Amino acid sequence: MKTIHKFRLECGKEANTLKLREGYRVVRCEYVVPQKGVFLWVEQPLNVTIPVVERQFVVVYSGDPVPVSYQYLDTALDPFGPEAYHVFEVAEVPAGEVVAPNRQTNGILFHSARQQVGTA
């Protein structure tokens, strides 16, 4: 069996951490006017033996830079305002690696450079 849960995501530079069952799938993203917020609907298995994983999501405004490793999921529009909210999933970094952001000189794009930790 499976179900769909609704999660509120906060806007800003801080990532939203969600605890989800392995095999989850994001099915919808929407700006909910009465609650004045961005929400994410996620389908996930109900089987309690399936491990829980922590995943991070960020909500950014149009024109805000994000690392190229982030996975775009959806856009939520405020029907009564000028804003568009773009939802990205923060990509996982393999164990032992650090993601170091590197801004281009024009300050518009962001890309990630991976470095091995503890290597000479």
> Cα separation of 77 and 81, whole Å?
8
pLDDT tops 60 at residue 112:
no
Determine which of 25-39, 54-68, 106-120 has the lowest per-residue pLDDT on average.
106-120
> Cα separation of 58 and 18, whole Å?
11
> Cα separation of 39 and 32, whole Å?
7
Q: Average pLDDT in the 67-80 region?
A: 95
Q: Do residues 8 and 45 make contact, with C-beta atoms less than 8 angstroms apart?
A: no
Of 29, 13, 24, the closest CA to residue 55 belongs to 24
